[in-house]
Amino acid sequence: MKNTFCGAFNCFKVKEMSQQELVKVTFPDGEIATYPKGTPILQIIQTKKDVSSSITAVRANGNLLDLSSPILDDSKLEFISFDSEEGQDILRHSTSHVMAQAVQELYPGVKVSIGPSIENGFYYDFDCERSFTPEDLEKIEVRMREIIAQDLPIRREELSKKEAIKSYKDKGELYKVELLEEIPDERVTLYSQGNFTDLCRGPHLPSTGKIKAFKLTSVAGAYWRGDEKNKMLQRIYGTAFADQERLDQYLHRLEEARKRDHRKLGKELELFSFNEEVGAGLVIYHPKGALLRRLLEDFEVREHLRRGYHLVKGPQILKVDLWKKSGHLENYQEYMYFTEVEEQKYGLKPMNCLAHMIIYQSKIRSYRDLPLRYFELGTVHRHERAGVLHGLSRVREFTQDDAHILCTPEQLDQEIKAIIDFVADVMKIFDFDFEMELSTRPEKSIGSDEDWGKATSALKRVLEENNSPYQINEGDGAFYGPKIDVILKDVLDRRWQCATIQCDFSLPERFDLSYIGNDGEKHRPVMLHRVILGSLERFMGVLIEHYAGAFPTWLAPVQVVILTITDKHIPFGEEVFNKLVSHSIRVEKDFRNESLRLKIREAQLQKTPYMLVIGDKEAQEGGVSPRHRSGKNLKLMPLSEFVALIEQESKFPT
């Protein structure tokens, strides 16, 4: 049998071979070709000249492989392109290795730990005596470009765990030794380029020269393995893309995200603060922030009452025996706080469901009473590690727009659908797109396989009947039931998890909840746990960044600011102020003896929707000349007309 193969590195003619020495390769387009057993994948795909430069790796019979890997069996190939999610992960992971190589070459003695790809980028954690500076990042980038220009082959090596441990001990890389000692496999893989070798599963790019566009973005502290009891390491973040244009677009979004950072805007707009004397992860709301929160709460109450929910409220602490009964003590204790009152141990609630079940138990329920929808703006406390606290996004005390729906099994699908519709309605009001994930049973959980199967099937069935696209998130359900997580996409196309719908057969069983059916017998209800906005704190943080602090008029803590030109205009300014206040318009006054330009600039920085400049003309005609924060000036109008304008914009959206 004759076959000719030409690649970038060599061109050879396959001589007469037995069938056993050839392997059959099926390409994604259906073409089939034969090659000598052991031919590197890179040489094989180079016969596909129209696609070879865009490929980072392949799947061969479902297994993800480096391009340097040999083909040993008949294989069906799938190409992994730079544009795919997997392709970007491979690119970024390879770039993190180049960064680690550059750091160790520039700063001898630095120890490396882990360097994975993450969403939109990568990082690597280093043990270094000196603190990395922005100037250091620039030096590291220069060295990385030199390594990339050398187009060093990235080589995969397999060896015994024992050999790898000895090698890393000899180098003093104790973080790698610790990782190796926990790997159950007897053989491990290492990847090398130049004089740098890293413990890694792979896959990786075939050479460093395949990296085209990257940027180191920041440096931060990170405890080894996320445990504050361990040493603080230095984490360098970066990102990489297939080409410079995409990198530039991402860096632009990153800069925009920095401008919108809710921690920065929260301080500038006087919304909230944190104070170490108070405690980490505990939010202090300033007047404008407290008002923003109340506006969201009022919106929530109205929307829930419209949909047949009952307002309830449970206590902040409940006896530990109740948390034991629910399974929280066994499965959630590490996130809980405890206290003792008169020798009785209590747990601060991390969730609101227990009190809601107690309310359900307070009387005999009939099938005619169901579904029952209990809603609470419930404040909860969770023990989050200091290292994961982040502005409003991750705090230790927060309020959920929490509800629990108790229904018959026959009502389950319609209630799930109603929640999905509720989420869609609310997200449209705030201009959010969203996607959904179905999270299945975690390893640490309660309840029977049968109940988990019924709950998962119900969520999946409704998603599919509703034509709602979703991804499966294996093993990430709540400990008592599977869930649908709603992932918001903000104006910068970033993802945020907020709403969730959890289907629970387990807690009704543990608390012996029942209703009398139309057959006169007792039956077990199903419980849906759900939030729409989720944590109010987190949602406020997302909103601040989504709107860049420029809230729509109905949500703005301050809707109007009155600016006087001189002191003689103050009397009419006071008249306007009192009129607006009497119509429940949220208004502030700036009657300082400062220039009008300064006052306007400060009002714009505060993102106030409207400014009313009061001068001679306004005072004489008894009207106002509104200026929108966009810079647009409206005509002089009677005060009553402006009041009507604000009242129209202040209506709760529907």
Residues identified as active-site: 353, 382, 400, 402, 404, 483, 529
Of 484, 475, 477, nearest to 413 by C-alpha is: 484
* Enclosing H/E stretch for 598: helix 596-605
Other residues' Cβ atoms within 10 Å of the Cβ of residue 429? 15
d(CA 585, CA 555): 12
Round to the nearest angstrom and report the end-to-end CA distance of the chain: 73
CB 628 within 8 A of CB 604: no
DSSP 205-269: -SBGGG--EEEEEEEEEEEGGG-TTSPEEEEEEEEEESSHHHHHHHHHHHHHHHHH-HHHHHHHT
DSSP 457-514: HHHHHHHHHTT--EEEETT-SBTTB-EEEEEEE-TT--EEEEEEEEEESHHHHHTT--
Please state whether beta strands 317-319 and 344-348 pair in parallel, antiparallel, or not at all (unpaired). Answer: antiparallel
d(CA 280, CA 221): 17
Helix (H, G, I), strand (E, B) or coil at 562: strand
Query: Which two three-digit tokens encode residue 410?
Result: 């026959």
d(CA 450, CA 443): 16
CB 322 within 8 A of CB 352: no
DSSP 31-88: -EEEEETT-BHHHHHTT-TTTGGGEEEEEETTEEE-TTSBP-S-EEEEEEETTSHHHH
382-384-387 Cα angle (round to 5): 165
Separation of CA 536 from chain center: 15
d(CA 558, CA 279): 29
Question: Residue 101: what residue type?
Answer: Q
CB 604 within 8 A of CB 650: no
CB 149 within 8 A of CB 141: no
Of 371, 373, 335, nearest to 351 by C-alpha is: 335
CB 327 within 8 A of CB 334: no
